[in-house]
């Protein structure tokens, strides 16, 4: 992966000038990569004298609570005034791990209407919108945290990466690659990992903090959804599951508890696509995963007003659970009839 020298030069002149007010933004339902890349990049900017506020639209999942610096992140849903003020006053806004302001929900309007800051995109989703002044858009990168590593390396050298940055960058790399099991695992990613490891971070501890810290309710909900809700279509090559608000309440659901469920059907041989539908008060969140050539980014865009990556995407549905499932099953048939499955 090559970063554009022109974009690096533009970024350097933005960062290495006089101290400025800066904002680092990431997407709704922030995950390990959103939070990890934001914290690491904010630290890099602060080291160069800038005053930095990290903002996300809503709360991150509880299994990331342990991350150093996470409590400094402003959650727009809880502290709208503080977020609005930081955005209005910012000279530069960094958009990390998303490709269009619509991924920020209501916070996107705040950026659109209340800010004349220079905008920098650092992201690995497909099809970025063009309303950015400096763009680092790399769909071939396995995580945005890896991109942040590459920016720091290009600007100030690998030796400038601190242990605290290495820890949160590692979280983003690990979570977005399914603990280094998905696509785009390049030799250069492992060179970056060697640099992170050399800072002395405790990799097994990071793994435990993220993946072995769920609640009993989550374990029981997982058993329930796999046993009772997982349906197979098209000779076991497509799967879907659903969770209603009522079912989630029965298992003391907390945000983050359904993390990873959608991956599980792909452990079945021949499975090519997996979906989960999760009910919220005003819509149903759709999560999609696939293997190989099955493009769920296109599927999410076509049928569920969403997008993402080729093998991991999401969207929304504004009809009932039954109708969402019926529409999904019809969409699968249409997709298959076009040879896309």
Q: Does the footprint of ligand 5GP cover residue 307 (CB under 6 A)? A: yes
Choose the stretch contacting ligand 5GP; rule: CB under 6 A; options: 15-23, 71-79, 181-189, 314-322. 314-322
Binder among 97, 257, 279, 295 for Mn ion (CB under 5 A): 97
Q: What is the dihedral of CA 212, 69, 196, 42, to 10 degrees?
A: 140
33 binds, among Mn ion, ligand 5GP, none (CB under 5 to 8 A by kind): Mn ion
Q: Does the footprint of ligand 5GP cover residue 308 (CB under 6 A)? A: yes
Q: How far is the CB of 312 from ligand 5GP (least distance, A)?
A: 4
Q: How far is the CB of 51 from ligand 5GP (least distance, A)?
A: 28
Binder among 144, 314, 325, 341 for ligand 5GP (CB under 6 A): 314
Helices (H), the chain: 5-15, 32-47, 80-89, 106-114, 144-156, 163-176, 187-198, 203-211, 216-224, 245-250, 296-304, 321-337
**54, 89, 100, 138, 194 from 111: Cα distances, Å:** 14, 11, 11, 23, 37
Partners of 24 in the beta sheet? 54, 94
Instruction: Of 239, 322, 306, 250, give the one whose Cα is nearest residue 276.
Output: 239
Kindly identify the residues of this chain, within the stretch 120-139, that bind ligand 5GP according to CB under 6 A: 125
Q: Considering beta carbons, is residue 69 or 307 the nearer one to ligand 5GP? A: 307
Choose the stretch contacting Mn ion; rule: CB under 5 A; options: 42-50, 96-104, 130-138, 198-206. 96-104
Report how far residue 112's alpha carbon sits from residue 320's, in angstroms, rounded to the nearest whole number.
32
3-state secondary structure of 314: strand
Binder among 23, 299, 309, 325 for ligand 5GP (CB under 6 A): 309
Q: Does the footprint of Mn ion cover residue 259 (CB under 5 A)? A: no
Q: Does the footprint of ligand 5GP cover residue 57 (CB under 6 A)? A: no
Rg of the chain, C-alpha, whole Å: 20
Q: How far is the CB of 235 from ligand 5GP (least distance, A)?
A: 25
3-state secondary structure of 44: helix
Instruction: Of 316, 313, 281, 317, give the one whose Cα is nearest residue 98.
Output: 313
Binding mask 200-239 for ligand 5GP (x = CB under 6 A): ----------------------------------------
Q: How far is the CB of 105 from ligand 5GP (least distance, A)?
A: 9
Report how far residue 290's alpha carbon sits from residue 312's, in angstroms, rounded to the nearest whole number.
7
Kindly identify the residues of this chain, within the stretch 75-114, that bind ligand 5GP according to CB under 6 A: 103
**45, 92, 131, 174, 179 from 210: Cα distances, Å:** 26, 31, 34, 10, 10
Residue 22, φ and ψ in degrees, nearest 5: -130, 150
Kindly identify the residues of this chain, within the stretch 285-304, that bind ligand 5GP according to CB under 6 A: 287
Q: Does the footprint of ligand 5GP cover residue 32 (CB under 6 A)? A: no
DSSP labels, 61-88: PGGGTTSTTGGGSEETTT-HHHHHHHHH
Q: Considering beta carbons, is residue 32 or 69 the nearer one to ligand 5GP? A: 32
307 binds, among Mn ion, ligand 5GP, none (CB under 5 to 8 A by kind): ligand 5GP
Binding mask 142-181 for Mn ion (x = CB under 5 A): --x-------------------------------x-----
Residues that contact ligand 5GP, how many (by CB under 6 A): 12
The site for ligand 5GP (CB under 6 A) is made up of 103, 125, 287, 306-309, 312-316
């Amino acid at each position: 992966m090559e970063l554009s020298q022109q974009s690096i030069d533009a970024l350097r002149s933005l960062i290495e000038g006089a101290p400025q007010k800066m904002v680092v933004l990431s997407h709704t339902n922030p995950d390990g990569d959103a939070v990890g890349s934001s914290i690491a990049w904010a630290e890099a900017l602060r080291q160069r004298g800038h005053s930095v506020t990290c903002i996300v639209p809503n709360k991150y999942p509880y299994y990331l609570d342990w991350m150093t610096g996470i409590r400094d992140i402003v959650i727009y849903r809880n502290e709208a005034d503080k977020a609005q003020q930081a955005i209005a006053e910012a000279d530069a806004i960094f958009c990390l791990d998303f490709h269009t302001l619509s991924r920020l929900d209501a916070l996107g309007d705040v950026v659109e209407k209340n800010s004349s800051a220079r905008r920098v995109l650092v992201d690995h989703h497909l099809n970025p919108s063009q309303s950015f002044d400096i763009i680092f858009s790399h769909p071939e990168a396995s995580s945005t945290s890896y991109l942040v590593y590459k920016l720091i390396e290009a600007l100030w050298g690998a030796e400038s990466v601190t242990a605290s940055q290495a820890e949160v960058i590692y979280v983003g790399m690990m979570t977005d690659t399914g603990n280094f099991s998905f696509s785009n695992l390049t030799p250069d990613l492992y060179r970056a990992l060697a640099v992170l490891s050399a800072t002395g971070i405790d990799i097994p501890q990071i793994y435990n903090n993220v993946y072995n810290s769920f609640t009993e309710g989550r374990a029981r909900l997982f058993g329930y959804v796999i046993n009772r809700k997982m349906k197979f279509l098209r000779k076991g090559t497509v799967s879907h599951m659903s969770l209603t608000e009522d079912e989630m309440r029965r298992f003391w659901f907390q945000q983050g508890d359904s993390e990873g469920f959608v991956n599980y059907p792909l452990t079945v041989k021949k499975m090519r696509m997996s979906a989960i539908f999760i009910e919220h008060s005003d819509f149903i969140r759709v999560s999609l995963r696939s293997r190989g050539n099955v493009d769920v980014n296109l599927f999410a865009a076509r049928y569920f007003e969403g997008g993402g990556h080729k093998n991991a995407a999401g969207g929304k549905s504004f009809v009932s659970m039954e109708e969402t499932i019926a529409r999904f099953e019809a969409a699968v048939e249409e997709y298959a009839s076009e040879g896309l499955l």
